[in-house]
Amino acid sequence: MMSPTQAKRVTYLYDRFMAAELKGWSSYDDYMLLLEWIDDSQLCRESEALYSIHKNKKMGCPFEHPKGTLCFVPGVLEGVEAILDLYEETGSLHPKNRYLLENYLCLCQDGQICELVDS
């Protein structure tokens, strides 16, 4: 089971991704369409493969954040970890959790989640 903190994180991410749906069609949506064809098991394997790399690196996005705001990526990674742990425990993937994993893979494919290099 997810802890209350993890559940709150996942709910926040879901709400944020759903709000972004209102912005119109983009290449991101094309990536999402492709992921509809893979089953839950494959989606979790793909997510786990990427997450296993990302969890040991300093990850972020390629955008400058205004002072006082935080990057969204660390929260996405926390949510992905919680969902993958729950899937491993239960063998079941709720449709909202599937949606979050699909978004994670799309963000990676679209270059919105990337390794940060100190300059």
pLDDT band at 119 (very low <50, low <70, confident <90, very high): low
The type of residue at 23 is: K
Helical pair 95-109 and 40-54, crossing angle rounded to 10 deg: 50
What pTM was estimated for this model as a whole?
A: 0.87
- The C-alpha angle with vertex 54 and arms to 117 and 85, in degrees rounded to 5, equals 155
pLDDT digits (tens, 9 = 90+) for 56-68: 998 988 888 788 8
C-alpha dist (Å) from residue 29 to 19, 68, 88, 116: 14, 30, 27, 25
pLDDT digits (tens, 9 = 90+) for 25-57: 777 788 888 888 999 999 999 999 999 999 999
Q: Which helix (H) or strand (E) holds 47?
A: helix 40-54
pLDDT digits (tens, 9 = 90+) for 87-102: 999 999 999 999 999 9
